Structure 1
Amino acid sequence: MTIINISALGVTLSDTLFSDLNLTISKADRIGLVAANGRGKTTLLGCLAGLFEQTTGEITRARGLRVGYVKQDVPDDALAMTLYDWVLAALSTEQAEYENWRVDVVLNDLKVPYELQHKPLNQLSGGWQRTAMLAAVWITEPDVLLLDEPTNHLDLHRIGLLEEWLAALPCDVPVVIISHDRAFLDATTNRTLFLRPERSRVFQLPFTAARIALDEADAADERRFANDLNKAQQLRKQAAKLKNVGVNSGSDLLLTKTKQLTERAAKLEAAAKPAHQEQSAGDIRLVNSGTHAKALITLADVPVETPDGQLLYKTGQKWISQGDRIVLLGANGAGKTQLIKMIQRALTGADDIVRCAPSIVPAYSDQHLSQLADTDTPMSMVTGQFDIGDQRARGVLAGAGVTIQMQDTKIGALSGGQKARLAMLVMRLKNPNFYLLDEPTNHLDIEGQEALEDELITHSASCLLVSHDRSFLRHVGNRFWWINGKKLEEVDSPEPFLSGEMGAT
């Protein structure tokens, strides 16, 4: 049964985000919505929720349809409220008085620990804030659920629980999901919409299979376009020959035929549609300046502690050598970021507990992108840190997906995806030979993730990284360190950790 019908929908702001979009949303649909950053995904969800007015086309909703829309960010006025009160406030006054038990049911289903339920949202992690937003929407019993980046800030365990929760939803409640987490999309969707400025495509498949089908469809479009242009070219050649013969012989019939062939060629050319070419949101090119050192980093049974001095684990004897792409695995709070920060301090000379080769040229990015100053502009940051002229700076910024209009905007006003690409650019310009990456794919779209994967592998970049993106860590890692209890163990594969993490309670 169709509950939402989208017909010839289009939105144009400064550019066309999407156009002539036709889509039906029916019960049992689990739709993955995929596009590069800034290409209209959130705008489309806003249109479906009735919060944004489309430029063209129509959206027809079933009578009385209740749309549940889980946005990316908690409203500022909610941050002082406790998680429990925020969810309770989503109910009507009468429901809140007589049916407040429903809050307990929803929070239990989402496995929110009791000790967190009565803490203010501003004291909770981004992951728990997102869980609170989901609970506040689900308690209203929507007929359709719209999720905008639901896995942002969630660790692997919480992502697994979210997958289980979505799988247990009533089949008659369709879900539309924006996500850049490929493994999550594969686990939770049965249809995929690739949103484009023109000719968006829908496949009755989860992401990975749909991506293969999309590539095949684009290749067919490319062949069709080339064939149409070739036919038009042949018609024009025939017309030119007939014209010469007609002029020389004075034959009006041949000249008429020439005109007909030319008109057919023109119609073919006008109707020929080039295959979609993804306008890259910016290339990420990481380089490796090289070093002669065998061991870049040496950990001699280093203790890793919490900020207040409590021992989390010891590293044992560990080395990071050239070409190592080490993925650091561990439960949330196990101390992954603490080890990254410890090595970063050693690389900057602020700590000597970790031994670093003198020839290391490091580059560091943390999950909050704190290396970017919100008060700077991309232009002032690049020209201030690197010896490149204004014209070159604008060129490299544009190549990183920061448009001319955004280059003089405060970094704090940029989107998460734009900040992530800017951070990658700043690292690249340092020409490093060792990368410390804490959640580098946060906010990066799928295109950006794949570009980062390709660059790390192609250039044999040496790195130590933390990621909750299963596809990313599986593709990139060639060594794996697992924080298992009080020890840091090297394992052959991430799969035992991933399966154990997913099964954790």
Structure 2
Amino acid sequence: MTVININALGVTLGDPLFRDLSLTLSKGDRIGLVAANGRGKSTLLACLAGDLDPTFGEITRARGLRVGFVKQVVPPEALDLSIHDWVLRALPADQADFEAWRVDVVLGELQVPYELQHRPLRDLSGGWQRTAMLASVWITEPDVLLLDEPTNHLDLNRIALLEDWLSALPGDVPIVITSHDRAFLDATTNRTLFLRPEQSRVFPLPFTKARAVLEDEDVAAERQQANDLNKAKQLRRQAAKLKNVGINSGSDLLLTKTRQLKERADRLEAEARPVHRERSAGDIRLANSGTHARALITLDDIAVETPDGRLLYRTGKKFIVRGDRIVLLGTNGTGKTQLIRTIQQALSGKESQVKCAPSIVSAYSDQHLSQLDDSDTPHGMIISQFNIGDQRARSVLAGAGINIQMQETRIGALSGGQKARLAMLVLRLKQPNFYLLDEPTNHLDIEGQEALESELINQDISCLLVSHDRSFLRNVGNRFWWIRNGKLEEVDGPEAYLSAEMGVG
């Protein structure tokens, strides 16, 4: 049964985002919505929710349909409320007084610990804030659920819980999910919509399988276009030859044939299906200035502690050598970020326990991109930090997806994807030979994640990184350190950790 019908939909917000999109959403559909940063995913969800009117086309909803839209951004008015009160507030006033028990049921389903339920949202992690947003929508009992980047800020354990929760929902509840987490899309969807400016494509498959089919069809379309244009070129050559013969012989028949050949060539060129060319959201490139040192970092059984001095674990004797791409594994709160910061402090001359090769030039990015000053502009920051001149600064920013208008905009006003690409540009311009990366794929679209993977591998980057993205850590890591039982243990791969965290391989 169809619950939402989209016909020839198009949205223009300054620039055209997409057009001629037709789609039916039926009971049982679990649709993964895929596109690069800034290509209209959140905009399409807003249209489906009725929060935004499309520029073209129409959306028809089943009578009385309740649409639940879980947005990315936590409203400012929610931050001073507890999770419990924010979810309770979602109920109509006439229900809140005598159906408050429903809040406990929903928070129980989402496994929110009681001790967190009554703390203000502003004091909680981004992951718990995302959970509160989901709970406040689900308690309204929507007929359709729209999820905009639901795994942002979630650790692997919470991602697993979310996957289980989604799989346990009534099978007839349609869901549309935007996500850059490839493994999550594969686990939770049965259809995939690749949103494009033109010729958006839908496949009855989860992401990885759908993408393989899409790539094959794109290759076939490119081959067909080349064939059609080649045929048109041949027809024009024949027409030119016949025209000369016809003029010299005075044959009206040959001149008529010439005109017919030209008309066929015109039709072929006009009807040749244009091949989709994905506009890049911005290059992600890394630098590796190289070093002759083999052992870059030596951890001689150092103690990793919380800021207030509580011991988390001891590292044992560990080395990071040239070419290592070490993924740091562990549940939230075990001290992954603390180890990254401890090494960064040593590289900055503020920590004596960690031994660092003198030739190391480091680049550090934390999960909140705090190395970017929100009050500065991209152009101002690049000019002040690097001696590359105005024209060069504008060129490298444009290459990273920060156009001329954005270059003079406050960094705080940029999207998460634009900030992430700007942060990667800043790292590259430092010309480092060792990277410390804490959740580097946060806010990066799938194209950006794969570009970062490629750079880390192909540039033979030496790095220590933390990631909750299963596809990314599996593809990138060539060594794995697991924090467990008060120790830092080297393991052969991530699968045992993933199994322990998620119950999957």
TM-score bracket for the superposition, by shorter chain length: over 0.9
Letter in 2 for 1:22: S
Inter-partner Cα distance in structure 2 for 1:282 and 1:133: 30
Inter-partner Cα distance in structure 2 for 1:416 and 1:102: 34
Inter-partner Cα distance in structure 2 for 1:255 and 1:422: 60
Inter-partner Cα distance in structure 1 for 2:403 and 2:469: 27
Letter in 2 for 1:38: G
1:389 offset after TM fit, Å? 1.6
Inter-partner Cα distance in structure 2 for 1:98 and 1:130: 26
Q: Which residue of 1 aligns with 2:151?
A: 151
Tell me the secondary structure at the aligned position of residue 98 of structure 1. Answer: coil
Give deviations 1:117-173, integer Å, cap 9, x for gaps: 011111111100000000000000000000000000000000000000000000111
Give deviations 1:366-423, integer Å, cap 9, x for gaps: 0000000011111011111111121111111111111111111000000111000000
Inter-partner Cα distance in structure 1 for 2:21 and 2:419: 29
Inter-partner Cα distance in structure 1 for 2:421 and 2:387: 20
Q: Which residue of 2 aligns with 1:199?
A: 199
Q: Which residue of 2 aligns with 1:413?
A: 413
1:194 offset after TM fit, Å? 0.5
1:503 offset after TM fit, Å? 3.9
Q: Which residue of 2 aligns with 1:79?
A: 79
Q: Normalised by the size of structure 2, how large is the TM-score?
A: 0.99
Matched, 1:8 2:8: yes
Q: Which residue of 2 aligns with 1:263?
A: 263
Tell me the secondary structure at the aligned position of residue 97 of structure 2. Answer: helix
Q: Which residue of 1 aligns with 2:275?
A: 275
Alignment of structure 1 residues 405-444 onto 2, 5 Å: 405-444=405-444
Q: Which residue of 2 aligns with 1:118?
A: 118
Alignment of structure 1 residues 74-113 onto 2, 5 Å: 74-113=74-113
Alignment of structure 1 residues 393-404 onto 2, 5 Å: 393-404=393-404
With 413-422 and 395-404 compared, the bigger mean Cα shift is at 395-404
1:9 offset after TM fit, Å? 0.5
Q: Which residue of 1 aligns with 2:379?
A: 379
Letter in 1 for 2:56: T
Letter in 1 for 2:178: I
Matched, 1:323 2:326: no
Inter-partner Cα distance in structure 2 for 1:181 and 1:365: 20
Tell me the secondary structure at the aligned position of residue 212 of structure 1. Answer: helix
Tell me the secondary structure at the aligned position of residue 51 of structure 2. Answer: coil
Q: Which residue of 2 aligns with 1:309?
A: 309
Q: Which residue of 2 aligns with 1:454?
A: 454
Inter-partner Cα distance in structure 2 for 1:274 and 1:323: 42
Q: Which residue of 1 aligns with 2:32?
A: 32
Letter in 1 for 2:306: T
Inter-partner Cα distance in structure 2 for 1:120 and 1:162: 22
Give deviations 1:57-100, integer Å, cap 9, x for gaps: 11110001000000001100111111100000000112111111
Inter-partner Cα distance in structure 2 for 1:312 and 1:397: 40
1:455 offset after TM fit, Å? 0.3
Q: Which residue of 2 aligns with 1:336?
A: 336
Letter in 2 for 1:69: F
Alignment of structure 1 residues 106-255 onto 2, 5 Å: 106-255=106-255
Inter-partner Cα distance in structure 1 for 2:287 and 2:383: 20
Matched, 1:44 2:44: yes
Tell me the secondary structure at the aligned position of residue 277 of structure 2. Answer: coil
Inter-partner Cα distance in structure 1 for 2:319 and 2:125: 32
Tell me the secondary structure at the aligned position of residue 193 of structure 2. Answer: strand
Inter-partner Cα distance in structure 1 for 2:409 and 2:361: 30
Letter in 1 for 2:83: L
Q: Which residue of 2 aligns with 1:364?
A: 364
Give deviations 1:201-244, integer Å, cap 9, x for gaps: 11111011111011001001101100110111111011101100
Inter-partner Cα distance in structure 2 for 1:173 and 1:199: 27
Letter in 2 for 1:89: R
Inter-partner Cα distance in structure 1 for 2:217 and 2:503: 38
Inter-partner Cα distance in structure 1 for 2:438 and 2:138: 32
Give deviations 1:424-481, integer Å, cap 9, x for gaps: 0000111110000000000000000000000000011000000000000000000000
Letter in 2 for 1:337: T
Give deviations 1:258-277, integer Å, cap 9, x for gaps: 11111111111111122111
Give deviations 1:297-320, integer Å, cap 9, x for gaps: 000001000010000000000000
Tell me the secondary structure at the aligned position of residue 332 of structure 1. Answer: coil
1:197 offset after TM fit, Å? 0.3
1:358 offset after TM fit, Å? 0.4
1:351 offset after TM fit, Å? 1.2
Matched, 1:57 2:29: no
Q: Normalised by the size of structure 1, how large is the TM-score?
A: 0.99
Give deviations 1:337-386, integer Å, cap 9, x for gaps: 00000000001111111110000010000000000001111101111111
Q: Which residue of 2 aligns with 1:478?
A: 478
Inter-partner Cα distance in structure 2 for 1:12 and 1:263: 35
Letter in 1 for 2:309: G
Letter in 2 for 1:184: F
Letter in 1 for 2:36: A
1:14 offset after TM fit, Å? 2.0
Letter in 1 for 2:266: A
1:56 offset after TM fit, Å? 0.6
Give deviations 1:311-336, integer Å, cap 9, x for gaps: 00000000000000000000110000
Q: Which residue of 1 aligns with 2:18?
A: 18
Inter-partner Cα distance in structure 1 for 2:479 and 2:452: 18
Inter-partner Cα distance in structure 2 for 1:61 and 1:127: 32
Inter-partner Cα distance in structure 1 for 2:281 and 2:15: 14
Give deviations 1:23-47, integer Å, cap 9, x for gaps: 1101111000000000000000000
Inter-partner Cα distance in structure 1 for 2:201 and 2:348: 48
Q: Which residue of 2 aligns with 1:392?
A: 392
TM superposition outliers: structure 1 runs of 4+ over 6 Å? none
